């Protein structure tokens, strides 16, 4: 069994979850925040049989779009500490996905 952890954009979460549910995968949705942009994103946890991993990855890939965001981040370095720097263009997503081995799985 594997645990798939997928960090996706909030805008894509509804569609990804619907498609996973339609394909009979169970999902836990967490409201999370990126450490760089400090904006909200969504983290999905899905426990699946090994042979189902590719199917889940395809659903996530097909429904997660890359988007460009503009961020004005305060500098945290040296003499510029605290100054707001010029906006930077950042390409976010589609999805950042980790696939982990599950040692045990229980439902009590
Ligand atoms: P954030 O940390 O808010 O990052 C948003 C986007 O900003 C990233 O998009 C990337 O394009 C850019 N970025 C992040 N750190 C940067 C840096 N130090 N310098 C320049 N640009 C930087 P994605 O790579 O698509 O990541 C989207 C979100 O996925 C991230 O939001 C974070 O919440 C998560 N994530 C990405 N890689 C991760 C990793 N290795 N471990 C844990 N979470 C990760």
- The protein residue with its alpha carbon nearest to ligand 1, atom 44, reads 96
Cβ neighbours around 57 below 10 Å, total: 16
pLDDT tens profile 64-99 = 999 999 888 777 677 777 777 778 899 999 999 999
Q: Whose CA is nearest to atom 19 of ligand 1?
A: 36
Identify the three-state secondary structure at position 2.
strand
CA of 19 to the centre of ligand 1 (A): 24
Helix, strand, coil % in the chain, rounded to nearest 5: 30, 35, 35
**Mean pLDDT of all residues belonging to the chain:** 93
Ligand 1 touching residue 42 (CB < 6 A): no
CA atoms within 13 A on the CB side of 71: 15
User: pTM, whole model, 2 decimals?
Assistant: 0.91
User: How close is the Cα of 83 to the center of ligand 1, in Å?
Assistant: 22
């Amino acid at each position: 069994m594997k645990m798939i952890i997928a960090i996706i954009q909030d805008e894509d979460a509804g569609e990804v979850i619907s498609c996973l549910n339609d394909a009979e995968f169970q999902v836990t949705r967490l409201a999370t925040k990126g450490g760089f942009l400090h904006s909200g994103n969504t983290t999905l946890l899905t426990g699946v049989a090994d042979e189902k991993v590719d199917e889940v990855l395809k659903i996530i890939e097909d429904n997660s779009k890359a988007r460009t965001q503009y961020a004005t981040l305060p500098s945290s370095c040296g003499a510029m500490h605290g100054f707001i720097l010029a906006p930077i263009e950042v390409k976010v997503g589609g999805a950042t996905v980790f696939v982990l081995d599950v040692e045990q799985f229980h439902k009590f």
